[in-house]
Amino acid sequence: MYCNSVDSTFRGVYFGGINPSTYLKATEFHHHFNGLYLNNAAVISSQTLYGNRWNNANISFQAENANTQGYQLSTFYVDTILGSVYVPINNIPSWFKHLDGSTFHCSNSTVCSTAPVALTDSVLNLMIANGTLESEEYVAESKAIAEEYLFRQLMEDSTLIEADSAYAVFMEENMGEPVEYLYNTEEYMRAAYEYYSVYSNLIDSCNLQIALIADSINKLEELQPVGWEILKEQLIYTIGLLNQTINNVHNIREYSLSASLSNAELQNDYVVSGELPEINAAYMNAIEINFLEQGNDIQYLINNYSGIIAIAEQCPYAGGRAVEKARSFIALLNDTITYNDDAICLQSGIYRYANDSVKTVEENQIIVQPNPASNEVSIILKGNFEGLCNVQVQNIIGETVLTDEMNCKDSVHKINLSNIPQGIYLIKVNINNSTIVNTKLVVIR
């Protein structure tokens, strides 16, 4: 993002979730509640002498970073000698640091002719590779999203693996894992779109030539030039050849599309478990593949509306890129739907339990099988518990959609899910009103 000016909005520039290799340069911030805002899952890489300026006092912080745990991965280095407009009033004293050097200005920019280099922030990428990247919230989800980014970067330029042995270990650990299968799926789907576009352009070109020849035949038919009958036969013959070419290209296009989608579906089917962004991605990939295979039939989307909207209504910083894909498909059916991400992400009871007065046990104290589930799920408590356990199933906005009770000594308890729609849920087990164990559940049919 280069040489922009923002003014008179609640927040000038907002970053949410993992945004590696971000370039925020020479932005002019003016009148806002916050000029720059990073949410509690945001990481944008270091910004070194990029010349951003905060020109007016804001109602709140001129720059605010809610990711107080991982703010170092979004450090701004500025030449403070240039004045206070380059150092905004912010909520973390060490977020903006002094650095001598040449500050970026739009007047001497050659950005249009110079592409950003990959993997500019080695610290950030090594943290992703080593599995130590964490944000204030959505730790597991943020890691999964970041790993998907890094895996793609390394696959597209394998020489980068030589930069550090951690990258080689990262690639080896993720081969045969959801991140690889999802990458392969996307590559096959990308090929399907590219083949379809290339062959469609060839067909359009042939149709244009047919139209031109037909127009020429009509004009020459009126003029009746010398040797017209012979020429007309040649032109009609050419139209026949072009029609045959269209038919051949059409067959090749359909075969290429079918082959690419079949390979994509095969890779996607390997993703049977994973973090929420990976489960969402696999589900939406399946929707997109079937939608294309059925000739973009809107009825298919209508039939699968409940599953798509369940992902579309998730917090994007937890659900990953599939959330935006789901929203795109929903827009084909109803483009008036809006999504209140602030309410979903910040008020959701799924990821926040800091204010609970009871003890919360880590997720590894409870197992849910199968997960994803369809109509029934088994809850398995790990550890020795006594008394009565109250089981709650909550949706993505913290509403309880199902309740049940079990004897904590039994350890294993089955719950019928047939009366709740597809979607992402939290299973919360309250043990004697003193201890809570919880984990996520995905319901897919």
For 273-292, write each residue's pLDDT tens digit.
788 888 999 999 999 999 99
Tokens for 29, please give them: 């911030």
Q: CB count, 10 Å around CB of 259?
A: 14
CA distance 153 to 174: 14
Q: What share of the chain is helix, strand, coil (3-state, %, to 5)?
A: 45, 20, 35
Distances (CA, A) of 163 to 23, 47, 411: 22, 22, 48
pLDDT, tens digit, 9 for 90 and up, residues 341-385: 777 776 544 344 434 444 444 444 678 888 778 888 888 877 777
Q: How many CB atoms lie within 10 A of CB 168?
A: 14
pTM over 0.85? The answer is no
Per-residue pLDDT band at 338 (split at 50, 70, 90): confident
Least confident of 105-109, 214-218, 324-328: 105-109
The rounded radius of gyration (Å) of the Cα atoms in the chain is 28
CA distance 32 to 224: 74
Which residue type is seen at 117?
V
| 315/282: higher pLDDT | 282
Closest listed residue to residue 434, CA positions, set 357, 354, 372: 357
What is the predicted pLDDT for the residue at 135? 54
Per-residue pLDDT at 109 exceeds 90 = no
Measure Cα distances from 157 to 118, 254, 314 in Å.
9, 31, 32
* Rounded Cα gap, residues 377 and 369, in angstroms: 6
Token output for 150: 């890094």
Q: Where are the alpha helices (DSSP H) in 131-164?
A: 139-156
pLDDT at 112 over 60: no
